[in-house]
């Protein structure tokens, strides 16, 4: 096992990783920018190193600062968390070049999944279902026209290096393909420095369902079921649930069997999440994330597993020690991501937390690095807390989330707690009847009734 783990992140996820390490008896090193000297992840770490000024590119993204912090403190492993350097293959290589273990997949697998075309090609070869589309990259507009005619409109032009919805353009008719094509390519070039694009059939009302997997370095691969992440606004997820209200056990088992067999063949290692669009009873793979995800707690609650502990054990070369039949799905879990934003305009609202009173009781979990007196800095992601509830049934989980949101008091800054209360009360949400477009309509309607 590792002697000391450096956590290359901040906020609630740095704390989450620290908690797993402490329970495993592994000392931790926190790194922080000058804006985070008073942060909870620094206060609770065994050791901390200041790695630079507030701008992430000069601190949390700065290879030399993080690597030197690991070397001087004698850390023998680095956990990247999510965001920042978590999916950076060059960083993983640099870590390994220093004789330090990167807690994650191999750099080659990270690079493969970072290229959406390579990821789709690999998954197709492994029997994972895809959205109908181009076979690899589309080189020019003529080829785009031929592919679009073949798969049928509407089509989506997507950037190979894309993410967060950037470099993605829909063409509803042949007459609009040229414009979609050139906008997507330009956006891809400016945002990612790579203008490679591909084409897919545009699905107009899918759910976003993702599957959590773990693989050890001895060929054992298991899945921990799905999360429904359809409730998003501008590619920011607000609410996630495990399992999906749209799936039954048979559908989950079938998808899980295909995916775990595929990743076994691929030789994948550590945690991974496969993203699917789900429409009309069909799954279509779109992307794979090679990191721990923000919403991992809902999976932990229904499967009674510590995914961070498992990531660390796998990176240290241990075997999983259990198989798919040992993994049971118990009850239902829901997560609300609370951000420091105006709940109506979504304007960032950093500032001083005057009072912090998290909810409690049976089946309630709060992952947060907030405390009374803390000043939320303006430089980073606005998420300040994840409220996760677990209950035997979905209806009971909804009731538990409702009362937990009522108990949750964060004073001094604006938060999205009031919006979460409205979402949880919405009949469509209660019925599990929503797609990736539901939330944007819901918040749009609210703005209209106000005006
Ligand atoms: C799609 C799609 C519809 N059809 N692909 C958005 C970001 C990227 N991860 C994939 N995305 C989408 N790909 C096809 N063929 C709709 C989206 C999409 C979306 C997907 C998941 C969650 C939220 C979304 C919001 C808008 C569009």
* pLDDT tens digits, one per residue of 102-124: 999 999 999 999 999 999 999 99
Residue 22 to residue 74: CA distance in whole angstroms: 17
Catalytic machinery residues: 291
Distance CA 72, CA 386 (A): 33
> Pocket around ligand 1: residues whose beta carbon is below 6 Å from it?
131, 156, 165, 168, 200-203, 206, 208, 232, 235, 277, 286-287, 436
Q: 52 C-alpha to center of ligand 1: Å?
A: 36
Nearest residue by C-alpha to atom 19 in ligand 1:
436
Which residue is closest in CA terms to ligand 1's atom 24?
Answer: 436
Query: Using 50, 70 and 90 to split pLDDT, how confident is the model at 451?
Result: very low
HEC string of the chain equals CCCCEEECCCHHHHHHHHHHHHHHCCCEEEEEEHHHCCCHHHHCCCEEEEEECCCHHHCCCCHHHHHHHHHHHCCCEEECCCCCCCCCHHHHHHHHHCCCEECCCCHHHHHHHHCHHHHHHHHHHCCCCECCECCCCECCHHHHHHHHHHHCCCEEEEEEEEECCEEEEEECCHHHHHHHHHHHHHHHHHHHCCCCEEEEECCCCCEEEEEEEEECCCCCEEEEEEEEEEEEECCEEEEEEECCCCCCHHHHHHHHHHHHHHHHHHCCCEEEEEEEEEECCEEEEEEEECCCCCCHHHHHHHHCCCHHHHHHHHHCCCCCCCCHHHCCCCCEEEEEEEECECCCCCCECCEECCEEECCCCCCEEEEECCCCCCEECCCCCCEEEEEEEEECCHHHHHHHHHHHHHHCEEECCCCCHHHHHHHHHCHHHHHCCCCCCHHHHHHHHHHHHHC
Could you tell which of 132, 133, 285, 286 is best to mutate to test the pocket of ligand 1, judged by most ligand atoms within 8 Å of the CB?
A: 286
- Over residues 380-423, the pLDDT tens digits come to 999 999 999 999 999 999 999 999 999 999 999 999 999 999 99
pLDDT at 192 over 90: no
Q: Tell the residue nearest (CA) to atom 16 of ligand 1.
A: 203
Whether the per-residue pLDDT at 161 is higher than 90: the answer is no
- Measuring from atom 5 of ligand 1, which residue has the nearest CA? 202
Q: Whose CA is nearest to atom 8 of ligand 1?
A: 165
Q: Which atom of ligand 1 is nearest to the CA of 164?
A: 7
What pLDDT was estimated at residue 446?
Answer: 60
Cα(411) to ligand 1 centroid in Å equals 35
Specify the pLDDT at position 27: 98
209 pLDDT above the threshold of 90: yes
Per-residue pLDDT, 205: 97
- pLDDT above 70 covers what percent of the chain? 98
| Model confidence at 155: pLDDT above 90 | yes
Task: Report the distance separating Cα 311 and Cα 417, nearest Å.
Answer: 31
**Structure pTM?**
0.97
Residue 447 confidence (pLDDT): 55
pLDDT tens across 352-384, in order?
999 999 999 999 999 999 999 999 999 999 999
The whole-number average pLDDT for the span 78-86 is 98
Q: Which of 197, 436, 442 to mutate to test the pocket of ligand 1 (most atoms within 8 A of CB)?
A: 436
- Does position 448 have pLDDT exceeding 70, yes or no? no
Residue of 165, 238, 284 with the most ligand 1 atoms within 8 Å of its CB, for mutation? 165
Least confident of 182-191, 321-330, 360-369: 182-191
Give the chain's mean pLDDT: 96
pLDDT at 163 (0 to 100): 75
pLDDT at 165: 78
The share of the chain scoring above pLDDT 90, in percent, equals: 95
> Closest ligand 1 atom to the C-alpha of 162?
8
Question: How far is ligand 1, taken at its centre, from the CA of residue 420, in Å?
Answer: 23
CA 165 – ligand 1 centroid, Å: 7
Residue 320 has what pLDDT?
Answer: 98
Residues 6+ apart with CB under 8 A from 431: none
pLDDT for residue 450 is more than 50: no
């Amino acid at each position: 096992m590792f002697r000391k783990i450096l956590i290359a992140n901040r906020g609630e996820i740095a704390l989450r990783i620290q908690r797993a390490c402490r329970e495993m008896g592994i000392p931790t090193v926190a790194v922080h920018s000058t804006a985070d000297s008073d942060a909870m992840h620094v206060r609770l770490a065994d050791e901390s190193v200041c790695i630079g000024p507030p701008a992430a590119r000069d601190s949390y993204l700065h290879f030399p600062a993080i690597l030197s912090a690991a070397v001087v403190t004698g850390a023998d492993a680095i956990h990247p968390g999510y965001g920042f350097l978590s999916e950076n293959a060059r960083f993983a290589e640099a870590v390994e070049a220093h004789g330090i273990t990167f807690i994650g997949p191999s750099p080659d697998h990270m690079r493969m999944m970072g290229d959406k075309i390579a990821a789709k090609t690999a998954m197709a070869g492994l029997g994972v279902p895809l959205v109908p589309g181009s076979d690899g990259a589309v080189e020019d507009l003529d080829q785009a026209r031929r592919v679009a005619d073949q798969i049928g409109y509407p089509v989506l032009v997507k950037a190979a290096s894309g993410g967060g919805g950037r470099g993605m353009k829909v063409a509803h008719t042949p007459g609009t393909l040229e414009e979609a094509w050139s906008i997507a390519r330009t956006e891809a070039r400016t945002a990612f420095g790579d203008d490679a694009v591909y084409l897919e059939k545009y699905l107009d009302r899918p759910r976003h369902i993702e599957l959590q997997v773990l693989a050890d370095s001895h060929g054992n691969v298991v899945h921990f079921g799905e999360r429904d992440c359809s409730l998003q606004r501008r590619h920011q997820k607000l609410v996630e649930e495990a399992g999906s209200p749209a799936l039954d056990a048979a559908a989950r088992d079938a998808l899980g069997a295909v995916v775990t067999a595929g990743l076994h063949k691929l030789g994948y290692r550590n945690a991974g999440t496969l993203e699917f669009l789900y429409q009309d009873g069909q799954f279509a793979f779109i992307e794979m994330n090679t990191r721990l995800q923000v919403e991992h707690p809902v999976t932990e609650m229904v499967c009674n597993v510590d995914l961070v502990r498992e990531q660390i054990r796998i990176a240290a070369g241990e075997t999983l020690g259990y198989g798919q039949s040992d993994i049971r799905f118990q009850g239902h879990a829901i997560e609300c991501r609370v951000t420091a934003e105006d709940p109506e305009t979504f304007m960032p609202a950093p500032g001083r937390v005057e009072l912090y009173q998290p909810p409690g009781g049976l089946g309630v979990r709060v992952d947060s690095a907030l405390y009374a007196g803390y000043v939320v800095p303006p430089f980073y992601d606005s998420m300040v807390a994840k409220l996760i509830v677990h209950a035997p049934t979905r209806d009971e989980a909804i009731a538990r989330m409702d009362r937990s949101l009522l108990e949750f008091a964060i004073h001094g800054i604006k938060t999205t707690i009031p919006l979460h209360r409205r979402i949880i009360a919405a009949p469509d949400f209660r019925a599990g009847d929503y797609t990736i477009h539901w939330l944007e309509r819901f918040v749009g309607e609210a703005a209209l009734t106000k005006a």
